[in-house]
């Protein structure tokens, strides 16, 4: 694919919310976008909101270094480079649970996704 005059973005958390809105806007304005998220089906739904655009859906849990590496490898393989990272993936943990009752594993999942995931993507 000739991407010399096309800008390339990776959007994490592209399956819903702000990530989806940003990805769709980038696609509609001519960017090629690697859509990253935990659920492949929601990534496909995001891509369908910008018909005729160029995207790549990559199932990715940003808290896993190997999955982040695979995301960026697939993006570079398909598009040749990355011009923009929209580091948006995040989670809140279980709702309605007071912090004093929150299991450590649930908290660790929030930190691994929101903090470590952003670090891993920026490092890639």
- pLDDT of the residue at 28: 97
Return the domain boundaries, the chain: 8-123
* pLDDT band at 67; cut points 50, 70, 90: very high
What is the model's pTM?
0.93
Pairing of strands 8-12, 32-37: parallel
- pLDDT tens-digit readout, 76-92: 999 999 999 999 999 98
Confirm if 8 and 83 have CB atoms less than 8 A apart.
yes
Q: What is the structure's pLDDT at 4?
A: 75
Q: Domain 8-123 classified CATH 3.40.50.720? A: yes
At 99, is the secondary structure helix, strand, or coil? helix
CA angle, 33 then 92 then 123, to 5°: 45
C-beta of residue 122 within 8 angstroms of C-beta of residue 11 = no
């Amino acid at each position: 694919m000739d991407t010399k005059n096309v800008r390339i973005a990776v959007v994490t958390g592209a399956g819903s919310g702000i990530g989806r809105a940003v990805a769709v806007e980038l696609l509609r304005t001519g960017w090629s976008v690697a859509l990253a998220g935990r659920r492949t089906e929601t990534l496909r739904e995001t891509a369908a909101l910008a018909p005729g655009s160029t995207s790549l859906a990559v199932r990715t849990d940003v808290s896993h270094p190997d999955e982040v590496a695979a995301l960026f490898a697939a993006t570079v393989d398909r598009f040749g480079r990355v011009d923009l990272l929209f580091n948006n993936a995040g989670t809140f943990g279980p709702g309605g649970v007071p912090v004093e009752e929150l299991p450590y594993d649930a908290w660790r999942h929030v930190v691994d996704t929101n903090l470590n995931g952003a670090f891993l993507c920026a490092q890639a």
